[in-house]
Chains A and B, each alone.
Chain A
Amino acid sequence: DTGVSQDPRHKITKRGQNVTFRCDPISEHNRLYWYRQTLGQGPEFLTYFQNEAQLEKSRLLSDRFSAERPKGSFSTLEIQRTEQGDSAMYLCASSLVSRLRGANVLTFGAGSRLTVL
């Protein structure tokens, strides 16, 4: 397992189009996160899954955004009717959370950079 993979790495689209990003986490990790990052800022939480269950969504995640993690494996993040303000780096991360470990160390993918024209 080589880490967290994201695809595509770059996406340029026109305003109003739909885009989908895919994330393949580390296989033994039970959590998967989506974050958004804009230039000069820290990661902004969007949503996360514990196995296949989506447990929390940020208020940043408008109804144009949807995320899925079928069967608790890979995840997709879809943005419908893209707007210029959606331009950002979309980061996926995974982690193995257990009470025994007591910590939540995220392994990030390389990100998918979205540019909306």
Chain B
Amino acid sequence: ELKVEQNPLFLSMQEGKNYTIYCNYSTTSDRLYWYRQDPGKSLESLFVLLSNGAVKQEGRLMASLDTKARLSTLHITAAVHDLSATYFCAVHVDSNYQLIWGAGTKLIIKP
């Protein structure tokens, strides 16, 4: 059974600091997605990583994918309060493009 594990599940940090969220998955895949969810809101697509070594950046967020290690990272640079949200990774592993989701990382950034 495919498992997608995120860590940490909860992270509280100060503005201006850097941190990394990790997403490990248990089977071969070369498609990984990051989503953001604000409290009480729905999920918003952030990044799609489609190959080994893929790196995507948007503002203070940068995502990367290492398919050999079955690992994706979401790096936050010089965090700001507006980035407070829950971040989910999802992996698609079959020809039907079905997604398996991690449990999410709740990020709180204190001003």
A binds B: yes
Tell me the A residues contacting B by CB distance below 8 Å.
Answer: 31, 40-45, 48, 55-56, 91, 93, 95, 97, 102-111
Chain B 82-110 per-residue mask, 1 if CB under 8 angstroms from chain A, else 0: 00000010001000111101111010000
Q: Is the CB of A42 within 8 A of B31?
A: no
From DSSP, what is the main secondary structure of chain A's interface residues? loop
Inter-chain contact total with CB atoms closer than 8 Å: 54
Knowing A41-B103, A41-B104, the reply to whether A108 touches B31 (Cβ < 8 A) is no
Which B residue's beta carbon lies closest to that of A4?
A: B42
Q: Using CB atoms, name the residue of chain A closest to B103.
A: A42
Task: Please report the C-alpha to C-alpha distance between residue A86 and residue B106 in the assembled complex, in whole angstroms.
Answer: 24
Cβ–Cβ < 8 Å partners of A44 in chain B:
101
Smallest CB separation, A72 vs chain B (Å):
17
For the side of the interface on B, what is the size category? 20 to 34
Within 8 Å of chain A (Cβ to Cβ): is B41? yes
Binding site for A on B (CB under 8 A): 31, 33, 41-45, 48, 50, 88, 92, 96-99, 101-104, 106
Q: Which residues of B contact A45 (CB under 8 A)?
A: 98-99, 101
Q: Tell me if B43 and A56 are in contact (CB < 8 A).
A: no
Q: How far is the CA of A40 from the CA of B37 in the complex (A)?
A: 11
Which B residue sits closest to A109, measured CB to CB?
B42
Partner of B42, one of A41, A102, A111: A111
